[in-house]
Amino acid sequence: MRWPPKRYSLPALVVFLFAFPAVWSDEFYLSVVLNIYFAIILAVSLNLIIRAGMLSLAHAAFMGIGGYTSALTVLKLGFPFLLALLSSGVVAAVISLLFGRLLVRLKGVYLVLVTFSFGEVVRLFFVNVEYPFGGTTGILNIPPPRITILPGLTVTFASKLPYYYLALVFVLLTVFVVGRIYRSSIGQAIACTREAEHLAECIGIDTFRCKMFVLGVGGFFAGLAGSLYAHYFHFISPMSFTFWEGVNLIVINIVGGTGWLAGPILGAIFLVPLPEFLRGFVEYQRALYGLILILTICFLPDGLWGFLRNIRFQRRGKQAKQA
């Protein structure tokens, strides 16, 4: 019997993640992990859209929409954090669906160009509208999340340690929901839509509804990530979701492996910490990401997770031959 048994691997990983701050309590490491968590939520939700055959450069824009929505509903309307968080996801999802009615009719380079243009339009809108979005400065002094767990018991996530657990909960929620979608009949229809859209329509799959579904779900989780980002850094500005942020999310997916749920997770774990640990070479970050992307496409076309799976299958094959 293989040890540890596969059914214990996921619970053990979750226990490790919750125990991580006890092992590495340094605020620098917690900050790096929080950035990884934000990237995982965004990359996993983008992976759902990519799985339907759509390569979107606008995903970071929906993060920005969610961040601004959460900040304004808390500061201007006095919403509690959880309601603001939900509002950020809903607003991003609604805008994603409205935009999606145009997007699902496009393919190839036209799809990429339109999503790029939409992301820039959203960014420039926030840049040029001073009230209530703050223009180039953005929105400052966004309060930390406050959640009432029990009557008379309110938790404020003002420091990195409690925020770590808040972000971890939403990472697990994102991975769980997207994983359930992949294993469902909807997930199979989404995969068929990507592989052969016309054939999928011939066998009765509504490809339009599949694409709209993934755009709505992807936009919702991108909005949640934007809300978590805004309340963690206490500000949101147009510089938080530039074109390059959208490119980085695509690179994370390709390097990790777009064919599996674990791919964007592994890609985020590998790529997000690089700028933190190579601060002396920050100006070369885009060149480094480009080099990593080229090497991945040339030598690891299935991404890091696909490479690890191939190694595991080869070992199993050797063990079977020896047996």
For the chain, domain boundaries: 24-242
Instruction: Give the pLDDT band of residue 154 (cuts 50, 70, 90).
Output: confident
% of the chain residues with pLDDT over 90? 67
Whole-number percent of the chain with pLDDT over 70: 93
Q: How high is the pLDDT of residue 313?
A: 79
- pLDDT by residue (tens digit) across 40-72? 999 999 999 999 999 999 999 999 999 999 999
CA distance 90 to 31: 27
Say which amino acid occupies 51. Answer: R
pTM of the model: 0.94
Mean of pLDDT over the chain? 90
Mean pLDDT for 175-204 is: 91
Report the range of poorest mean pLDDT among 10-24, 31-45, 69-83, 232-246: 10-24
- 25-57 residues labelled b (16+ CB within 10 A) or e (exposed): eeeebbebbbbbbbbbbbbbbbbbbbbbbbbbb
Position 231 scores a pLDDT of 97
Placement of tokens 């080869």 in the chain: 314
pLDDT of residue 13: 85
Q: What is the pLDDT of residue 196?
A: 85
For 138, the token pair is 């953005």
Measure Cα distances from 220 to 59, 63, 86, 96, 252 in Å. 11, 9, 9, 8, 20
Does the structure show a pLDDT above 70 at 3?
A: no
Helices (H), 76-159: 81-103, 108-128
Residue 2 confidence (pLDDT) above 50: no
Q: Give pLDDT, residue 12.
A: 84
